[in-house]
Amino acid sequence: MTTQDQRSVAIFLAAAVLLSIPLIAMQFTEEVDWTASDFLIGAVLLFGTAGVIDVVLRKVKSARNRLILSVLILGILFLVWAELAVGIFGTPFAGN
């Protein structure tokens, strides 16, 4: 397995671990109450972000540009996630 393949596996594994946190939390508390659609949306966001970051890391040669693009992509993920969770921008997609 090449280094790029190992990095790709690590990126997608990190997304899977993040998605499993609410699933595990639901077993111990009623504070976390995700539905199947919540997991589906989370999976699309996390694995979509992982895929885009993987492409950036494979195609962009400059380490500086890789870092800038990856941080920008993660920032967009966090903003979308926050909007869906609590509606910080007040769009019709807000979670509250």
Is residue 93 assigned to a domain? no
Digit-by-digit pLDDT tens for the chain (96 residues) are: 888 899 999 999 999 999 999 999 999 999 999 999 999 999 999 999 999 999 999 999 999 999 999 999 999 999 999 988 888 887 887 766
- Phi, psi at residue 53, to the nearest 5°? -65, -40
Q: Which domain holds residue 80?
A: 3-86
Distance CA 29, CA 44 (A): 25
Is residue 27 assigned to a domain? yes
Number of domains the chain is built from? 1
Is residue 53 assigned to a domain? yes
Flag whether the pTM goes above 0.85.
Answer: yes
Alpha helices for 1-96 (secondary structure H): 3-26, 36-59, 63-86
Query: Encoding tokens for residue 80?
Result: 């979308």
Is residue 80 assigned to a domain? yes
Is residue 96 assigned to a domain? no
Is residue 92 assigned to a domain? no
